[in-house]
């Protein structure tokens, strides 16, 4: 699929987004009042992992997945990314897409982590939009420029867990960007073609 201008901007700061994506160790049952402090606490753990030269790449990848998997709502992210096309899929197609899209997201995180140096992330505050929606505002302190990154949490119906369903960087929603790309792709290609496209680059563990 063609890379949009938004993707080019996203490429430059994705590695910083990954820092907080990876700071989710054991936060699947995170409480509303602890979202900011819990994420801030785990940034240091994530940074230590990224800077550890003694860990092999494949082992680091596995540890990374263990860190960020519990806090992401991949089901909701898959639905948002496909938009109205989600309703057109069979149950099996939805499973296939979720699996392929999840791997796509993980591959993107791994790729961008290789660009990480020593940038600092500041967790500012949470903003409650409504009963089931909270934004976590953060700032990346870059060498030449600062970037605002917002993590969007929602409270799930199952166990009332607070999970991330979207990330907004410099005012751009990652999920909306994917949804636009997938919509354009499916306008002239089949769903099977989309799955093949997503599966092109597998993670090497």
* DSSP string for residues in 52-105: -TTS-HHHHHHHHHHHHGGGB-HHHHHHHHHGGGGGGS-HHHHHHHHHHHHHHH
Could you tell me if residue 97 is inside a domain?
yes
Could you tell me if residue 205 is inside a domain?
no
- Its pTM stands at 0.80
When pLDDT is averaged across residues 16-43 and rounded to a whole number, the result is 64
Could you tell me if residue 124 is inside a domain?
yes
C-alpha closest to that of 14 among 114, 138, 118: 114
Could you tell me if residue 204 is inside a domain?
no
Could you tell me if residue 202 is inside a domain?
no
When divided into structural domains, the chain yields a total of 1
Place of tokens 């160790």: 25
Query: Tell me, what CATH number does 76's domain have?
Result: 3.10.450.710
Written as six digits, the tokens of 38 are: 């819990």
Bigger pLDDT: 69 vs 181: 181
Could you tell me if residue 64 is inside a domain?
yes
For 64, counting Cβ atoms within 10 Å of its Cβ (0-12 exposed, 13-18 middle, 19+ buried), the class is buried
Torsion of CA 103, 107, 113, 114, to 10 degrees: 160
Place of tokens 């680059």: 201
At residue 205 the predicted structure's pLDDT band, cuts being 50, 70 and 90, is very low
191-198 and 91-113 helices, crossing angle to 10°: 30
| pLDDT tens column, 175-199 | 999 999 999 999 999 999 999 999 8
pLDDT of residue 180: 95
CA distance 108 to 15: 9
Could you tell me if residue 201 is inside a domain?
no
Domain of residue 116 covers: 5-196
Could you tell me if residue 164 is inside a domain?
yes
């Amino acid at each position: 699929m063609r890379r949009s201008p938004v993707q080019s901007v996203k490429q430059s700061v994705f590695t910083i987004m990954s820092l907080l994506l990876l700071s989710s160790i054991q936060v699947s049952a995170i409480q509303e009042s602890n979202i900011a402090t819990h994420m801030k606490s785990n940034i240091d753990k994530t940074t230590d992992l990224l800077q550890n030269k003694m860990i092999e790449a494949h082992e680091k990848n596995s540890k990374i997945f263990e860190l960020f998997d519990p806090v992401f709502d991949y089901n909701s992210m898959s639905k948002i990314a496909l938009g109205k096309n989600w309703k057109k899929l069979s149950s099996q197609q939805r499973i296939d897409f979720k699996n392929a899209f999840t791997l796509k997201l993980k591959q993107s995180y791994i790729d961008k982590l290789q660009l990480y140096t020593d940038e600092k992330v500041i967790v500012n505050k949470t903003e409650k939009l409504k009963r089931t929606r909270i934004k976590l505002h953060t700032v990346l302190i870059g060498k030449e420029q600062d970037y605002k990154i917002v993590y969007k949490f929602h409270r799930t119906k199952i166990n009332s867990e607070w999970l991330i369903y979207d990330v907004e960087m410099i005012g751009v929603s990652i999920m909306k960007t994917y949804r636009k790309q997938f919509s354009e792709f499916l306008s002239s290609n089949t769903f099977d073609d989309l799955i093949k496209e997503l599966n092109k680059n597998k993670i090497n563990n």
